[in-house]
Structures are given as structure tokens and as C-alpha cells.
Structure 1
Amino acid sequence: MRYGLRRDDDLALAFDCVSGTAARMRHAVRYNKDVFWTRMINLFQAMQAFVKVADVGSFAQAAGQLNVSTSVVTRHVSSLEQHLGIRLFQRTTRKVVLTEAGAQYADGCRVLLAELEEVESRATTASRDVAGDLRIVALGSFSLFRLTPLFAEYQARFPQVNLRVTLTEKRVDLLEGGFDVGIVTEHMIRSESLVARRLINSHAVPVAAGAYLAQAGHPQTPAELDGHRLIAAPFDTTGPMWIFRKGDGDAESASEDGDDSGESIAIDASFTVNSMIMQKQAALGAMGIALLPLEMVEDELRAGTLVRVLDGYAVLNGDVAVSLVYPSREFVPRKVREFIDLAVGFFK
């Protein structure tokens, strides 16, 4: 590899990146990120030690102010001199004086270190402040009936945050997409390295419009679905089967005895669409029977525009579990942490 363990190579790499182009820096980082950043930090520490000696005129005083040993400061300055091929200080028994080249180099180091300090300050301030853009990707079907109140409450608390929401029904990569958080079903997550916190588990129920049932009849058993028009996703997340078990319509209570076996009905849908919102609209339009989260159709069931089908049965494999996902538990910006805490509490 290009980067060995020699100290002059360490500084050569660091100087090359500080004084060179962004392309050189990307080239260096690509080889070994951990080694690269360690050496960059070593360079800045050497510059900091050099500038401190230049300011106070003493290796011992500089070491005291930096809370390191004099030998560490001496080693930092010697490394810089060796790499640059110049003498930075004239040393006598009583004092340390910058050479002409050393004075010029000290001026440049002060500018660079000041800029670095400013960059660090802006970064830490941005992490502490609840402001800026919060990028969220969410399951489109879930968003319309549960997320708007959450978003409204968050912005009421933190008006300086701009919510940038993307709705989708597809699998997403949180990191590649540049999202801070995702509110998605488990099958939509493309990375296993994310932190996932369950927000809600909504039981699915078969529903249809009264007009459709008046024309096609009410199925009394799951087997009778074979003669009905069914509405589903193109690749239904429940699999090619809807699995029913006789009970009160609640999947959990229907399997309290520990036996999850049920009657499997093959899905041969007459209408498929990759949106639960459109599936619901299709059911309202009397196009057939759809399997939808109960919370998504509660209002329509109360109003009578949709009717429960096979309400004496529970669907064992149709639940929709929605989770809050984010990249890491460490170094989470405050605006993201506040949203996570609010969302988890909101759905309790």
C-alpha cells in the first residue's frame, strides 16, 4: 500500500491533502480512511504545537499550555521541520526565535487552524440547534391518515425546522437517499444496519363497498373468495396467500392458543396496484374486496361506505407493521433526536 508506517510518509500524505486538490484528498481517503484521518489529526496537532511555541517563545511553556510533555511538542516541531526541509526556529539556551521561513509558515498555520476551528464550531452548533432541514421518507399509504398530525405537532414545537418529506411504496436505502429518518414497513428497508423502532402494528381486514357486495354477494367462508374480484398489491407483502382463521377478526386473539395454522386462500387479484391508498379507492369504487389496515378504513366502516367481509375470521398474515428507522444511535443531531422521541411517544 502507498501508506506505510514511516512518520515522514505520514506528514507527506497529510501535507499533500491539506495543500492539494479535493481529488487528491479523495484518492487518499479511498485507500484507508482510518489511517488517513489519524494522520490528518496528527498534522493539525503538530501545527497547533508549532504555533503555540511561536506565540510563547518556549517549548516548555507551550507544552504546559497544551497539557502535554515538552518532548511531545519537540517531536511535533521536529517532524514539521523534517518534512518541510527547513528550520522553523533558531534555538538558544535562553529563547526560541522564529526563522523567516518559520514566521511565514506560522502565519499560514494560524489561518488554517482558525478556519478549522470555525468549521468545527459551525458543525457542533448545527448539531445542537433544532433548525434546518429534516429529511424524512415515509410509506405513502400510512402518511395520509397518521403522519400529518405528527408533522404538525413537530413543527409547532420546532418552527425553525423545515420538513422535507418523500412518500413512497418502494424499498428505500436511507443512507443513499440522504434521509435522516424513515417511517416505513419492514419489507421496505434495504439496509440491516439501521436502528428500527416499531411505531404501530395495524391489523388488516377484508373490506368491500356495499354496492359490490350487493351485486357479487357476501362470502361466508374464505373459500368463497375464489369467486370474487380481489384487490391487492402486485407482489402482495402477505405472499401469494391470504391466511384466515375463524375468530373475532383480531389476528392476535385468533391465535391465542398458539396454533397459527389457518385456511390459506390463493390470491388471483383482478386489480393490483402498489399503493394501499389506491387499493382503498378501488374498494370504494366497488371494484372488489381489498385487504387493508383497519386504521386506514375505520372512518369508512363507521360511515358505511365500506363493509367488513368475513368479519368472523382473522387474517393471520396481513398485519402492517410500521417502524421508525434511522442510521445510528450515536451522534444523532438534536433535530433528529427530538423527532424520534416525539414520534415514539405519539404512537404509544
Structure 2
Amino acid sequence: MTDISTSAVHATTAALATNTPRRFYRGGERIFAFRGLEAPSDFDGYRPEDWIGSTARLFAEGGGGVTTLDGGRELPDAFAADADGWFGEAHVARFGGDPNLLTKLLDSGERLPVHSHPSRAFATTHLDCDHGKTEAWIVLVADPDATVWVGFRDELSAEDLAELVDAQDDRLLEALNPIKVSAGDAVLVPAGQPHAIGEGVLILELQEPTDFSVMLEHKRFGLELDHAFLGLERPVALQSVDHGPVTGERLETLRRRWADVVDFGSALPDEASAYFRAEVVRPVTGDVTVGAAYAAVVVVDGHGTFTSAHGAREVRAGDVLLVPFAAGDVTVSGDVTLIRCMPPAP
């Protein structure tokens, strides 16, 4: 399907270990269970995110998060050494050696705070960064009646929003649209939309590669104001927040059932493609071959064979691979479901 240069000898498919920086909210047990691992002896219950293929760092909380490959090489250094091999010439021509993607597993051991993320335009103006943080949630596991919240139901004035943030009470969450979710759902969360994830959900998250969050709800989680508002004055930070309303009709455009995909297809609404792509690969009618792409690959169910120019390997639920463009076309066979998390098309 795709003509691959043989000159990209440095970029090679890598199996990734967990990368779970400590966060301010609880979680992590579902990540280790999904990955088929025992929790480490020093697990403190505050490792709710597994950062996959990460060149980004935490905005606060110690600044960790960058992926380290086997042998101890940090991922940004590996990308710099062979950008064409990792991403392909077309991606490099448009984006340089920036992967334009951060992928995570996220386990909500408690409800996350109401927060939002800035847009690219806001980040460029106020945070000296080309990336905002549009994100998407691919639900892998969910407790009964699991709930997420996206967008204000009613339009708020700037004064209304400031009052809710000042109050730091339940009215912030109550102002949002609740969405019941189950395994197999996907939700796109555009930058600027206030949101929260309820307790008891394991998601595969795709996002722009930053850790920019405006923590509208922060007192309950003990967050300092510089952390909560990205080091900005509060009125400036709140300019990044969409005031609503987000209607029921709009919410429907942000949702998809990724579990309904047969053979291969997108896990996300079309609107997501400007920011990232998530491709479900689930051989049903026969082996599936997909084209070369840089991808964080998460095996979400079953077991099978993953074959590329880098050879054939057996994969099973919980495996996580970082696959470069240089791996060429990929053929997936067996009773297996995996999701390829990719940057926007160049």
C-alpha cells in the first residue's frame, strides 16, 4: 500500500512500559489491571495517568511525563535523531519533528475537578505555545452509571462564570451537561469546553501535546492558584473558557460508538481529525492491513498478530506499542481489537 524509504534505520517499533507521573487526584489501579501488571510496591493511589509516546511534561506537580524508551533514551531525543523515520517526510514537512499528539490511559479513581483547556489561539497569545488542548475520550471500562460532564447547559455571562469559580461549590458541576457513558463510547471535548470525568472510568485519551488546564474547581483538590490558572491572572485564564450553551444537538455531534467499528474505521467524530486520529482495527471478515503511520497503538481486547516491516509480534490486551512510519504497512490478524492513535494527517 505504501512505499517506505529504507533509509530510516533508527526508528523502530517499541513496546512501552508504563509512564505514570504522580498527580493530584486518585487513580491508577485500572491502568495496571488493564496492562496486566501488578501495581508497584511504592504505588500510592495517585498514579491515574499513563502517558504514552509523550514529549510533553506536567505543567506543575514536578514536571514529569516524558516517555523514556528501553535503553534510557528520552523520546524527544529519539525523534530528533530520525524524524523522517518516525513520522514520514510529509508529516515532517508540515509539523517538523513534533508528534502533534499525546496519548494517555486515564483511570478516574475519583471524580476529576471541573476544568477546561485553552485553544490554540489562546495558547499562542498567552502561553507561548502553538498547541492548545482539544482532547477525546475513548471509554474502555466504565462502572454502572458512570458519568462525564461536558459544556455548560445554559449560557453564562463573564460575571456568572467568575461567581461560580469564586464560590468553589457544587454549582459548577451542576451547570454542566451530564453524559452517561459505557465501554465502547467515545466523546470529543473541544478546547474551551468545561468538563469533568466521574469516578470509575478507564479511558484512552488523545489530546494535543500539552498539560494546559484551567482548574475552575481547585479548592477541593488543594491546588495552588498558579497551577489552577496556568500562571495567569484569573480574569485572563477565564477568557479561555467557553460560556455555553452546549445543546443536546451539539453534544450528539461530539459522540460516537467506537465499539461498533468492523474491521477498521475511526473511533472519533470527524471534527477530531483536525487535531488527531484514532483508528479502530478489529479483524472480523479477515486480516486487516492499514497504511504506514506514526502511531501509539493500544491493544484493547483479545490477542492476535501485528505484522510490519519490523517483523511479526504477538499482541494481547494491555500491550502498548509505539510504531514509527518506517514500520510500513501493518497487518493485524486474530481475535484482537487495537486502536491506532495518530496525529492529524499531514
TM-score, with structure 1 as normaliser:
0.23
Q: As a proportion of its length, which structure holds more helix?
A: 1
Which has the higher Rg, Structure 1 or Structure 2?
1
TM superposition score normalised by structure 2: 0.23
User: Which has more strand, going by share of residues?
Assistant: 2
